[in-house]
């Protein structure tokens, strides 16, 4: 589950690796939780596997460090 704010919503592929919900909306959060609870075990398991793969592919430490270093170079005019 992830709220629909920048930085959170990108971590979830709706219905594949999790469910999103609207910020400050208890009803939206409850709806997402109920959707997950009602999934069969196999779908919950597949969602967990998909979520892990997404994190490894898109949020690996090396990828993030490289992206930060590129951004710093761009901001500093390539002096680093």
**pLDDT mean by block of 10 residues, the chain; 80 residues:** 92 96 97 98 98 93 92 81
pTM confidence score: 0.75
Backbone angles phi, psi at 3, to 5 degrees: -75, 160
Which residue's entry shows tokens 């930060």? 68
Residues pairing with 23 in the sheet? none
Residue 3 to residue 1: CA distance in whole angstroms? 7
The strand pairing partners of 3, in sequence order, are 21
Task: Identify the three-state secondary structure at position 3.
Answer: strand
**Any bridge partners for residue 14, and if so which?**
18
């Amino acid at each position: 589950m992830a709220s629909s704010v920048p930085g959170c919503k990108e971590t979830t592929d709706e219905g594949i690796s999790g469910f999103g919900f609207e910020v400050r909306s208890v009803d939206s959060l409850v709806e997402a939780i109920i959707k997950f609870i009602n999934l069969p075990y196999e779908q919950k398991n597949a969602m967990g596997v998909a979520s892990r793969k997404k994190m490894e592919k898109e949020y690996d430490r090396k990828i993030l460090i490289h992206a930060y270093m590129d951004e710093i170079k761009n901001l500093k005019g390539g002096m680093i």
